[in-house]
Structure 1
Amino acid sequence: MIYLDHSATTPMSETALLAYSEASRMYYGNESSLHDAGDRAHQLLRYNKEKLAQFINGEPDGFYFTHGGSDSNILAILSLAYGNKHRGKHIITSPLEHPSVYQALDRLRDESFIVEEVKVNQNGEISLQSLKELLRSDTILVTICHAPSETGVIQPLQAIADVLPKHIVFHTDAVQSFGKIPINIQQLGVDAMSLSAHKVYGPKNAGAVYIDPHISWRSIYDNVTHQHGFKPGTVDVPGITAFVAAANELHENLTERANMWTEMRKDFIQQLKKDIFVPIGDQENRLPHHIAMRARGFEGQWIMLECNRRGIAISSGSACKQSLSAPPKSLLAMGLAPEESHGLFRISFGKGTTTAQLEETAKALNEITSTQKQAISFT
């Protein structure tokens, strides 16, 4: 199979598998225990925090470990909202977010928080003017993703941070961008960030939240001691070690790989029929490995299934969507009609993606849309 759905998940790398195995054998102690075995695990956990801090230019003490990207988003948003609600209960987000962000925000709405969404420009970037208009004296939190999983358009985080008063906490979901493009949290002006291991060739069920140590937060759990109360349960040191090992491997030649992916993406799009295939979102300011497209007159899910019949794995959107029948919210916010939004399909490269695989995929897409004479109905 040609696997082109790396934005959904990636296979564990050999480096990550080895790191997990060795950490499980050699650092099996509970990192909260006071004996030598516990201290060894604690020291390894500290090393992992220091490595992650290097990747984003953060502080090691700002990291808390979770069960993945969704868990990171929910825990970060709730903890930051509860830790700052004494200053207000107004939160700003966007229509571009992962479903886990909306799950956290729906809970906060039920608890009398006020949540509003910024408008989105046609190129897929949030409107800074809309953000300015939504800001209030009681705004405590802004959560806007670094790059949406559906469109891949990189959001102007630094410009957003410049708009925000200092007292407003700025969180971003960087699950899709981490390990794909350079991230400097200090330059971006971000206070908190969500990460996931299985998007960067690490294990599933592992992730991290970064919160600037100077930012106020409050645990959603009572009487929890692990990770300063952020999340209960024994920390999975082997899983985190595998996560960091995989991320380290990606960061060793991150810029070179990103440049290669960019050229591969542009070459691939050139091979598709221009009268049928329409790229979605800004084509320059986007994740290098990510392609969001639609084919005129065809549903994205049908395109995905036809590719699958030919041994090619692509996506028709976020794997975490609650409803496959509903058009993507992000595309509707960009001004696409429902029938156009239904046409979304996503192709995302990985470390092993080759130009030959992309040529075969482009050929398959051209054939699929040529042999199907009647457009698929949008229902």
Structure 2
Amino acid sequence: MIYFDFAATTPLDPEAAEVYVKAATDFFGNSSSLHDVGSQATTLLEHCRAELASLLGIDPTSLYFTSGGSEGNFLAIEALLSAKEKAGKHIIAGIAEHSSIYGVLNRLEKEGFEITWLPFTSDGIIDLDQLLRAIRPDTVLLCIQHVNSEIGTIQPIEEIGRACREHKILFHSDFVQSFGKIEIRQFIPFLTSFSFSGHKIYGPKGVGGVYIQPGVAWHSFFPGTSHEKGLRPGTINVPGIAAMATAAQKIVQSIPENFLKFQQLREQFFKTLEPIKDHIVVYQASENSQLPHIIGMRIIGIEGQWMMLECNRLGYAISTGSACSMGLQAPSKAVQALGVGNDAAKGFFRISFGQHTTTDEVVRLASGIVRIVEEFTKSTIKKKQEVMLE
């Protein structure tokens, strides 16, 4: 099986795996314990915090470790709302946000908050004019995902952040798909908080982090919690954090190299699909606003679930959207945000490359898709002819 679902999760980097085992074996103490074994774990934990903060260009005291991106989104939103700068219960968010954002905001809506959901433009970008029109005097929080996990479009964080600053609105962004894929340091000054996850960057599952801007006077959602300065309960996963820090150092150093490689793989993929180009719809932005390793698309007249199963039969693992929403029957949120009708939305599927994906693998996948579409077309024509002869 050749894997093309790296936007869902990545394999654990071998070096990160070695670090995990060593940390779990030699630094197994609870980092909250006061004895020497606990102190050794604490020393490693704070070293990792400093290393990751250096990669991100942030103050180490503003970095908190979590169990992943979903928890990071939850904790960040709750922390910001506990420290909002003005009175109000209006929140603005994108329709295509991750399911973890939806979960928090849907609960807040039941508690009296009003949510304005912003769609995408036809190229998968938030319309800044529409965002500005949505801002009200009682708008206290804005949540916009940096990179969409289903189609790979990159949102204009700097422009959004400036608008938030002008209107005293706290700004949280889900950076799970952008951390390690593009340089994010330049955007952090325009954010109040952001989240990231280890398993998207060849680190382990069950570990991630959240940044909260220094000076934000947040209060813990969980009273009496002592871990991570009261942000979350539960023993800190020091081995997972150490492995994530190792993976992060490696992938951040490789951002330019990987980005160029993914651009070339994307070009080769579509070049190989030329024989069926009239059957393809690709959901993407311009090159400057698009992560090249994520391809969201559909084949006209073919359901995405069927395409995924056919590719799986041929030995290629692709996806029909965000792995965190796979149990739901609704169309992908990105396609909904684009205003695509339900019938067309059912055709959506996603292909995503990883740092070890080869040109040969991409050509083989694209060639396989061409064969699937050609066989489907022949079968459809044959059925129509049989119906006509009856």
The residue number in structure 1 matching 2:174 is 173
Instruction: Determine if the alignment matches structure 1 residue 277 to structure 2 residue 294.
Output: no
Summarize deviations over 1:292-349 as a string: whole Å, max 9, x none. Answer: 1111111111111100001100001111116543222321221322222111111111
**Aligned pairs, how many?**
376
Summarize deviations over 1:198-246 as a string: whole Å, max 9, x none. Answer: 1111111111111112223221101111111100111111011111111
Aligned CA distance change for structure 1 residues 186 and 149 (closer, same or farther; 3 Å): closer
Secondary structure of the structure 2 residue equivalent to 1:275: helix
Instruction: Determine if the alignment matches structure 1 residue 295 to structure 2 residue 299.
Output: yes
Aligned CA distance change for structure 1 residues 201 and 187 (closer, same or farther; 3 Å): closer
Unaligned stretches of 5+ residues in structure 1: none
> Could you tell me which amino acid in structure 2 is paired with residue 52 of structure 1?
L
> Could you tell me which amino acid in structure 1 is paired with residue 282 of structure 2?
P
Deviation, 1:102, is 0.4
Deviation, 1:185, is 5.1
Q: Comparing 361-370 with 117-126, which one deviates more in the overlay?
A: 117-126
Q: Comparing 301-310 with 114-123, which one deviates more in the overlay?
A: 114-123
Secondary structure of the structure 2 residue equivalent to 1:372: helix
Which of residues 319, 323, 331 is equivalent to 1:315?
319
Contact 1:64 1:209 in 2 (8 A): yes
Secondary structure of the structure 2 residue equivalent to 1:317: coil
Distance in 1 (alpha carbons) for counterparts of 2:317 and 2:76 = 32
> Could you tell me which amino acid in structure 2 is paired with residue 101 of structure 1?
I
Superposed, 1:328-343 pairs within 5 Å as 328-343=332-347
Secondary structure of the structure 2 residue equivalent to 1:172: strand
Distance in 1 (alpha carbons) for counterparts of 2:134 and 2:296 = 29
Deviation, 1:36, is 2.2
Contact 1:13 1:201 in 2 (8 A): yes
Summarize deviations over 1:27-86 as a string: whole Å, max 9, x none. Answer: 122212222222221121111112221222221111111111111111211221233286
Identity rate, percent: 42
Superposed, 1:144-155 pairs within 5 Å as 144-155=144-155
Deviation, 1:188, is 5.6
Distance in 2 (alpha carbons) for counterparts of 1:345 and 1:171 = 28
Distance in 2 (alpha carbons) for counterparts of 1:290 and 1:216 = 37
The residue number in structure 2 matching 1:93 is 93
Contact 1:122 1:334 in 2 (8 A): yes
Distance in 1 (alpha carbons) for counterparts of 2:360 and 2:333 = 34
Summarize deviations over 1:254-297 as a string: whole Å, max 9, x none. Answer: 11111111111112112112111221121412112111111111
Summarize deviations over 1:101-127 as a string: whole Å, max 9, x none. Answer: 000101111211121112321100001
Aligned CA distance change for structure 1 residues 188 and 126 (closer, same or farther; 3 Å): farther
Q: Comparing 118-127 with 34-43, which one deviates more in the overlay?
A: 34-43
Deviation, 1:363, is 0.6
The residue number in structure 2 matching 1:64 is 64
Which of residues 345, 352, 356 is equivalent to 1:352?
356
Unaligned stretches of 5+ residues in structure 2: 381-390
Distance in 2 (alpha carbons) for counterparts of 1:302 and 1:324 = 16
Distance in 2 (alpha carbons) for counterparts of 1:82 and 1:185 = 27
Distance in 1 (alpha carbons) for counterparts of 2:53 and 2:264 = 30
The residue number in structure 2 matching 1:124 is 124
The residue number in structure 1 matching 2:11 is 11
Contact 1:58 1:185 in 2 (8 A): no
Contact 2:179 2:196 in 1 (8 A): yes
Q: How does the TM-score come out when normalised to structure 1? A: 0.95
Aligned CA distance change for structure 1 residues 235 and 323 (closer, same or farther; 3 Å): closer
Superposed, 1:359-378 pairs within 5 Å as 359-373=363-377
Distance in 2 (alpha carbons) for counterparts of 1:242 and 1:322 = 28
Q: How does the TM-score come out when normalised to structure 2? A: 0.92
Distance in 1 (alpha carbons) for counterparts of 2:302 and 2:370 = 12
